[in-house]
Structures are given as C-alpha cells and as structure tokens.
C-alpha cells in the first residue's frame, strides 16, 4: 500500500504547474479538463516516487502559516541554494531543529503561498 497523491491547494493551476515542473523537477502525470468552470485535474510526479501531487482549489489567497508538505533530500543546503538560484522564497535557512537532533531542515514557499519543508532523511 502507498499514497497515490497528496492534495496541494493552489489558486492558479498554470502558475503552480510551472513552479513544480520548472523549479522542483516534477513531471506531469495528468492534466485533463474537469468540469465546466475550466478547473483541470492535474497530477505531478517526482521522478522515482509513487506519490503524486494533485492540485485542489485554494479557498483564499492567504499564505499557509504551517507546512503543507515535507520533502526529503540528502543535501538540504545544496537544495536550498539551487532553489534560491531559481528565485524561490526561502523562509528558514538550513538548521538542526531542537526537536529532531541530527536532522537538517529548511523551509520555502511555492508560487501559491504554500509553506514547504525540506529535510534530510
């Protein structure tokens, strides 16, 4: 058993799709019309994973104050620098959180205002 997709709230599907494909290396797994209002079923895939991201309609434009997704990377500092070079908003620099000694984490924000964490395994 595994998780098929995680739902990610977005306001602008095209902007979010461009962010996740262009800045985080996702591939489009699905992009199909869904309903009469122009909203689409979009799923994005990270290479080498089984869990996709699925865009759901964001209720408002307020940025999230709590993280909505946690990514894992061996080199958090290098990943943060690569994101910074792509003009991604970094919220917290890589650091060792007091509640998880030995782990490095950082936070950034996507194009839709979602707060995201990246941490070492």
Give the pLDDT of residue 35.
82
pLDDT range class, residue 96, cuts 50, 70, 90: very high
19: left (phi over 0), alpha (psi -120 to 50) or beta: alpha
Q: Look at strands 52-57 and 5-10 and give their pairing.
A: parallel
H helical segments located in the chain: 13-22, 76-85
**Do the Cβ atoms of 119 and 102 come closer than 8 Å?**
no
Give the pLDDT of residue 62.
86
pLDDT digits (tens, 9 = 90+) for 46-79: 998 999 999 999 988 888 889 999 999 999 999 9
Domain count along the chain:
1
> Residue 96: which domain range?
5-119
Give the pLDDT of residue 94.
98
Q: What is the CATH number of the domain that holds 100?
A: 3.10.180.10
Tracing tokens 């996702």 back to the chain, one arrives at 26
Q: How far is CA 37 from CA 34, 60, 105, 111, in A?
A: 8, 17, 39, 22
CA distance 14 to 1: 31
Mean pLDDT of the residues in the chain: 95
pLDDT range class, residue 99, cuts 50, 70, 90: very high
Mean of pLDDT values over 91-101: 96
Q: Is the pTM of this model over 0.85?
A: yes
């Amino acid at each position: 058993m595994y998780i098929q997709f995680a739902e990610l709230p977005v306001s602008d599907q095209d902007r979010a799709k461009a962010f996740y494909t262009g800045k985080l290396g996702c591939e489009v797994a699905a992009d199909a019309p869904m309903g009469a209002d122009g909203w689409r079923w979009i799923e994005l895939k990270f290479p080498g994973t089984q869990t996709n991201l699925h865009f759901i309609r964001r209720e408002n434009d307020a940025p999230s104050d709590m993280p909505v997704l946690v990514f894992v990377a061996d080199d958090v500092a290098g990943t943060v620098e690569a994101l910074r070079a792509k003009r991604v908003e970094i919220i917290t620099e890589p650091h060792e959180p007091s509640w998880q000694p030995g782990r490095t984490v950082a936070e950034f924000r996507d194009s839709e205002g979602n707060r995201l964490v990246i941490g070492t395994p």
